[in-house]
């Protein structure tokens, strides 16, 4: 009787190691296949969904501008705020209270928006104080207004005066 002899198997030959570019190319091919299958699954799973047709818009909706509510509950601050809005809407001028086109200087805008002469005077006093904080040589509101080149500073100081009046509860 012969005894079987065991033969030693040769070790498996290892595949040559792949460099980084080859491994990335294999992963890219695998990911492309997975993405293609995912797209196909979405197409199959959503084939039964129907979307109603949207109505066509023939003209834009008309927009009506609305005035922002006054942020100040106090009367003098509210007057100064409305004067600022008047300058923005109607324009700003120098040398006169109002011009032919409807633009107004600081005093003209305040007088137009004030509920009475006393409220206009109080607003002008607060405005002059706000101006003098940065321009101590300013003698009056009209003289300071006439020395300005454009409406940016007058509008800014109406805002500052409104904040000052609001802080004081006026």
Number of structural domains, the chain? 1
Does 3 reside within a domain? no
**In contact, 158 and 83? CB cutoff 8 Å:** yes
| Phi and psi torsions of 104, nearest 5° | -135, 155
Residue environment code for 93-125, b if the CB has 16+ CB neighbours within 10 A, otherwise e? bbeeebbeeebbbbbbbbbbbbeeeebbebbbe
Does 162 reside within a domain? yes
Does 6 reside within a domain? no
The pLDDT value given to residue 155? 93
Does 99 reside within a domain? yes
- Going by pLDDT thresholds of 50, 70 and 90, the confidence category of residue 77 is very high
Long-range contacts of 110-116 (CB under 8 A, 24+ apart): 110/79, 110/80, 110/83, 112/83, 112/86, 113/79, 113/82, 113/83, 113/86, 114/79, 115/75, 115/79
Does 145 reside within a domain? yes
Does 19 reside within a domain? no
The pLDDT value given to residue 15? 62
- Going by pLDDT thresholds of 50, 70 and 90, the confidence category of residue 57 is confident
**H-assigned helices in 16-116:** 20-45, 75-90, 106-113
Mean pLDDT of the chain: 87
Residue 92: domain span: 75-168
Does 14 reside within a domain? no
Burial of 153 (0-12, 13-18, 19+ CB in 10 A): middle
**In contact, 158 and 127? CB cutoff 8 Å:** yes
**What are the tens digits of pLDDT across the range 118-148?**
999 999 999 999 999 999 999 999 999 999 9
Does 34 reside within a domain? no
Q: Is the pLDDT of residue 6 over 60?
A: no
């Amino acid at each position: 009787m012969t005894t079987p002899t065991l033969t030693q198997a040769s070790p498996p030959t290892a595949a040559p190691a792949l460099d980084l570019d080859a491994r990335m190319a294999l992963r890219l091919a695998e990911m492309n296949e997975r993405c293609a299958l995912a797209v196909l699954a979405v197409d199959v799973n959503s084939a039964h969904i129907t979307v109603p047709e949207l109505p066509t818009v023939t003209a834009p909706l008309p927009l009506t501008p609305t005035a922002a509510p006054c942020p100040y509950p106090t009367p003098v601050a509210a007057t100064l705020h409305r004067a600022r809005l008047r300058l923005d809407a109607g324009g700003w001028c120098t040398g006169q209270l109002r011009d032919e086109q409807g633009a107004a200087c600081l005093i003209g805008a305040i007088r137009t928006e004030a509920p009475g002469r006393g409220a206009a005077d109080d607003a002008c006093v607060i405005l002059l104080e706000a101006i003098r904080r940065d321009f101590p040589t300013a003698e009056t509101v009209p003289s300071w207004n006439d020395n300005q080149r454009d409406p940016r500073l007058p509008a800014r100081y109406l805002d500052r005066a409104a904040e000052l009046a609001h802080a004081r509860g006026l």
